[in-house]
Amino acid sequence: MTSLAERLARPEIVALEPFDIAANNAFAAPDAIKLDANENPYPPLVEGPLARSVNRYPEPQPAKLKAALAALYGVQPDNLVITRGADDAIDMLIRAFCRPSVDAVAICTPSFSAYGHFVRLQGARLIEVRLNDSFDFDADAFLGAVSGEENLKLAFICTPNNPTGNEIDPALILKIADALPETIVVADEAYLDFSDTTSLTPEAARRPNLVVLKTLSKAFGLAGARVGCAIGEPDTIAIAARALPPYPIPGPSVDAALASLAPSRRSIHVERIARIKADRERIAQRLATSAIVRTVRPSGGNFLFLQVDDAEGLAHRLRSLGIRVRFRPNAAPGGVRVTIGTDAENDALLRAFGVDIETSPHRVAEVVRDTRETQIAVAVDLDAASPRKVDTGIPFYDHMLDQVAAHGGFSMVLTCDGDIEIDPHHSIEDCAIALGTALAKALSDKRGIRRFGFKLPMDEAEAEVLIDLSGRPYCRFEGEFASTAIGDYPTQMTPHVFRSLADSMGAAIHVKVEGENDHHKTEACFKAFGRALRDAIRCEGDGLPSTKGVL
């Protein structure tokens, strides 16, 4: 029985023999002598990770990345095909299914400009359906516009919609798919990570006429790597993938995507997305007070669509201030689209709109640190008390680092994926190094920073910590522990942690601890360190607390 995709696909695609890939490295034994693909045997003359294997052709559909994306989106690997960004997935679908001049594609306007571009490139027919005045998707109007269309192969629906930001109820997209069983409905979810709408991936995985597009460009910060995918029922995906070139995904992009999707990175991605969403709402409220702005559209993306009286004039004026925003006179004439940026970028935007800013930029840092033993990502914000999320794999150590952040009064998101099945040593030490590096980075020029100490009793135990963020690492630890471990945490690691912190922060740290109970003593050290840090990092004016003028 032929699948829906086979019936809808261009006859050339159905007849096409799969590309005979000589360099299919996936099937080569690791020690095979590879003389089959006319590759250059010598690595390229570049430094760093690129040098590793880029002289060889990449796997056409890298299995590890496919598994990681399938896990991320909650589908099976054969439900997805990796493409060079979601752009390439759009092109792939149109080339696989649309005969020039004969077949048609329906899109909404205003929406993402790539749909129309690739339809024209293929010479297919374009049916444009305007969103209503408030940019809502009107399913009945959409069905009305395509009714009687014999060769409607694809219908693209973008949710949240670019550039207007509105989310489209997934039930309406399913209604379109139900009403058009001989058309592949493509839900473009490039921005769904920033919205509260549910994804259609589970539906796409089982419906032959529904495909979902995803990308790592927006939510995962990998626009330059060009990694996206199309998700659908395996037959649909297999037919569509025939339109791809033999090696669509460059090896360095695969490495970048895999590193970014590693479990240790997950919580920082979640926090970044939450932060962009919160910034979007805050900026929307502020911009709504600007005399220039008529309406700020509600948005489920990492951007806002502003309706203004003179969009073109505004875009030009912003450009002259060094701020680029998106203005498309033909598709969305009455508005400009602005992306949510960093604190400093957002502040510059608000200032350009004549909105008062009273926030001062937060001292933040993100550090990633990977070795063969541990993969760590840590984010700190010295000017926010939350979120605090620590996952080192060693529960007692999580508790200790959380004490540092809680008593230090700063936000810490730290995840470590380490070789704790061998020994907790690497994870404990490397987390301390990564955390110290992040703190040093967040403090940057150390303006307004004091030297400080704190003495803290905890039941019978007492700990004293002195800190000088001097730029000169030095650690002194006085204290003994009677037991070898607290849970999975070896007590002898405590002096080690403070040494690692002193080295990576460029700080003098003196710790003195006395008492009976090792749990109390250890906890008192970390709490006192947090307290001392709280005072040492507090901003007081912008004078440097050293006669040398530089720390």
Ligand X SMILES: *Cc1c(COP(=O)(O)O)cnc(C)c1O
The contact set with ligand X (CB under 6 A) reads 85-87, 112, 158, 162, 188, 190, 215, 217, 223, 228
Residue nearest to ligand X (CB): 85
Nearest to ligand X of 226, 389 (CB atom): 226
Nearest to ligand X of 276, 458 (CB atom): 276
The string of DSSP letters for 387-434 reads -EEEE-S-HHHHHHHHHHHHHHT-EEEEEEEE-TTT-SHHHHHHHHHH
Nearest to ligand X of 23, 70 (CB atom): 70
**In the complex, least distance from residue 300 CB atom to ligand X, rounded to whole angstroms:** 12
CA atoms within 13 A on the CB side of 58: 20
How far, in Å, CA of 518 to CA of 508, rounded?
A: 24
**In the complex, least distance from residue 87 CB atom to ligand X, rounded to whole angstroms:** 3
**In the complex, least distance from residue 173 CB atom to ligand X, rounded to whole angstroms:** 14
**In the complex, least distance from residue 408 CB atom to ligand X, rounded to whole angstroms:** 38
**In the complex, least distance from residue 139 CB atom to ligand X, rounded to whole angstroms:** 19
**In the complex, least distance from residue 352 CB atom to ligand X, rounded to whole angstroms:** 24
**In the complex, least distance from residue 333 CB atom to ligand X, rounded to whole angstroms:** 19
Residue 484 has what DSSP assignment?
S
Nearest to ligand X of 224, 329 (CB atom): 224
**In the complex, least distance from residue 85 CB atom to ligand X, rounded to whole angstroms:** 3
Long-range CB contacts for residues 191-194, cutoff 8 Å, separation at least 24: 191/160, 191/162, 191/218, 191/219, 191/300, 191/301, 191/302, 191/303, 192/159, 192/160, 192/300, 193/218, 193/219, 193/273, 194/160, 194/218, 194/219, 194/273, 194/276, 194/277, 194/280, 194/300, 194/301, 194/302
Nearest to ligand X of 108, 314 (CB atom): 108
**In the complex, least distance from residue 315 CB atom to ligand X, rounded to whole angstroms:** 18
Nearest to ligand X of 62, 436 (CB atom): 62
Long-range CB contacts for residues 125-129, cutoff 8 Å, separation at least 24: 125/101, 127/152
Residue 58 has what DSSP assignment?
P
How far, in Å, CA of 90 to CA of 409, rounded?
A: 47
Nearest to ligand X of 80, 505 (CB atom): 80
What residue spans of 23-135 are helical by DSSP H?
A: 63-73, 85-97, 113-122
Using DSSP's 3-state secondary structure scheme, residue 237 falls into helix
Nearest to ligand X of 166, 215 (CB atom): 215
Of 281, 288, 275, 296, the closest CA to residue 343 belongs to: 275
Contact between residue 435 and residue 501 where contact means Cβ atoms under 8 Å apart = yes
Nearest to ligand X of 255, 391 (CB atom): 255
Backbone φ, ψ for residue 317 (5° rounding):
-65, -40
Using DSSP's 3-state secondary structure scheme, residue 380 falls into strand
Lookup: tokens for 33: 């002598």
**In the complex, least distance from residue 205 CB atom to ligand X, rounded to whole angstroms:** 20
- Which residue do the tokens 């404990």 mark? 428
Nearest to ligand X of 204, 414 (CB atom): 204
How far, in Å, CA of 87 to CA of 541, rounded?
A: 49
Nearest to ligand X of 228, 418 (CB atom): 228
Dihedral in degrees, nearest 10, Cα atoms 485, 487, 490, 495? -100
148 φψ region: left (φ > 0), alpha (ψ -120 to 50), beta (else): left
**In the complex, least distance from residue 114 CB atom to ligand X, rounded to whole angstroms:** 6
